[in-house]
Amino acid sequence: DLGTHGAPEQGIAAPHAGNRLGYKNTFGGATVSASMDYQQNSPTTSLAVSMPLMEGLEIGAGISTDQDSATTEQDIETMYVKYSMGGISVGYQVTDVERTAANSDIERTAYGISFAVNDNLSVGYGISDTEFEEFTPDEENTGIGIAYTSGGMKLGIINNTKDNAGGTAGEQEMTEFQLTFAF
């Protein structure tokens, strides 16, 4: 178990599963999306914008307010840049989670690179560092993946490690082999 993903503890926000109203449109190349998810005493609102700056270069930013209860909330801000050229894609993202409780903010930085060696083979590598204001050790994640496709068959190998999950000292590792067929 590599921990709960999609939680602010990892610098990633997960929307509630309740009544959600959303809007998404593209204006002059920029994509704007907004949503409101209202649960009793815990609404979530968000706004995100992404746009290409030039061929292969895209930037984006988002803000969100997630109210956990009638008295606590977290404000989340994130920004990213992604560049692709030929078979190479590189990405960088920063996320900041400001919580109501003192000394409980979270900052997350992530990097990733992928390379399509040819039409059938691709490799990717990613790093994520999550800094907890209230915990001493930072959470560090690394992952590498290789995928090979031939016709309707895909073979993949993934290895992920997580150090200091949730700010608690320790190490976890997961390796997965995948074989899928499309008929």
Q: Would 1 be classed as within a structural domain?
A: no
pLDDT at 169: 84
Is residue 115 within 8 Å of 123, Cβ to Cβ?
yes
Query: What's 155's domain CATH number?
Result: 2.40.160.40
pLDDT at 137: 87
Please, what are the averages of pLDDT over each run of 10 residues along the chain (183 residues)?
Answer: 44 59 91 84 85 96 82 88 97 92 87 97 97 85 97 96 87 95 89
Q: Would 3 be classed as within a structural domain?
A: no
Is residue 95 within 8 Å of 48, Cβ to Cβ?
no
Q: What residue numbers bound the domain in which 107 lies? A: 8-181
Number of domains comprising the chain: 1
Q: Would 2 be classed as within a structural domain?
A: no
